[in-house]
Structure 1
Amino acid sequence: MDFGQYIDPLDSISQRKDFYGYEGKDSGLAAITTLASSLDYTSSRSSLKLLLPLADPAQVLNVPVIPIGTLLAATHPFAANPPYLLSWLSPQISAPDMLQPKLFEKLVTENFETVPAKLLLQLATAFEEGGLCDKSGTFFYKNHLSKSNVPVLAIAGDQDLICSPDAVYETMKLILEPLVTYKVFGELGGPHFAHYDIVGAQRAVDLVYPCIIEFLNHHDTA
């Protein structure tokens, strides 16, 4: 990918509003599922705020990408091995005992790539008044959720420190109530779900995936 000619995917969505059901147009979607997603983090304590200090220097220095993957791979040994100086990083990804150690290590050291600085700058608007907006700063996505007629299953993890259940709810409450189903995975006595457990943990196969399939199948045949 040529990051020098990075095309903002969120901005391209706002430029093709008719395709996504904006302004009363048919989206062509029977139903959708969101996984640990929010358009507004202003009221949450999301750990994504840790990335915000990288945004301004990247803009000032005109840095094309932020090497998130390299940074995580470099810090992993300090989080996974004694004296566990960065042990607080592990719960950002997975709750205890949800991912096998080798799978967890592979996820951290091989899964994450560089992040375009322009994308990071735009995602930073999710922590500002009005929530996530396009690069023009005039189109706020959450303001148009109430215009959608597509059923949504919004899934959150009970121990997600990146996108907490509260952050998910802040977005989903803007969708017309008959259309939205809000589901938090995780029980008081376990299992618990952090950010990547919703997708990658074995318990996700047993608990999360069947819920998604049932929801989509129900609306696909409705």
Structure 2
Amino acid sequence: MYSPPTSYSPKYNEYLYAPFKRNPFYQQYSTQIPEACNSSNFECPVVHIREKIKGRFTYSDINSFKAVIVFPYAVLSYYLADLISTAIPMFVPSPSFIVQNKISYDMKAGDLSYCGKRFQEPPRHPNSKHLYSPEDSSEEATEYWLQYASYYTPCSIIFNNISHLVELMKTTNYSHVYECNLKYRQHIINHNKMQWNKLFRKIQVNRVMPTSWNESLNWFGETSFY
């Protein structure tokens, strides 16, 4: 398991853009942010990791950057887990910024990339205290549910617009945020270990394993694993 540096020690002065796969927003924001910084007499080069690291990159490569600015297309993704694993300081847009600029498009089970037209929304749970259905596509509902996205950690630096982002980039104590991220990372590790240990204690020793899909479905009392 990767262990990030014990103290904040970036190699480059650049800010890393995420997600790592290029998307339509990269060209827009990688230009807007430095322009806004220049207007504030502040240098803040934003780069795509492929512009700096050729071929495969590692966790330590991510730690080489000053911070990362995330424009998330999904509420949970592998690259987000990678960022949290490195403890790199992370700037993320507020829910209102995401909704207003239509940055995220991978959020609901009924999205085209998942169930699409086949999706049938289950009934509201009688004990639910949430204000909206997670499948509600209204701006109010989307903003509400975004608060639970994985990139909103206790240490994330949240901006409301590009000018606000630049101000935060100028004033943030990066070492302090990095220390916060290290603690949050360790909290996740401790939590996961505890949950796995609980699960292991429930596993029946020498149990008979299913030999087919149908037996597996019957085992769990399900009709489909999808």
Q: Same fold (TM over 0.5)?
A: no
Task: Give the structure with the larger helix fraction.
Answer: 1
Q: Specify the structure having the higher radius of gyration (Cα).
A: 2
Normalising by structure 1, what TM-score?
Answer: 0.29
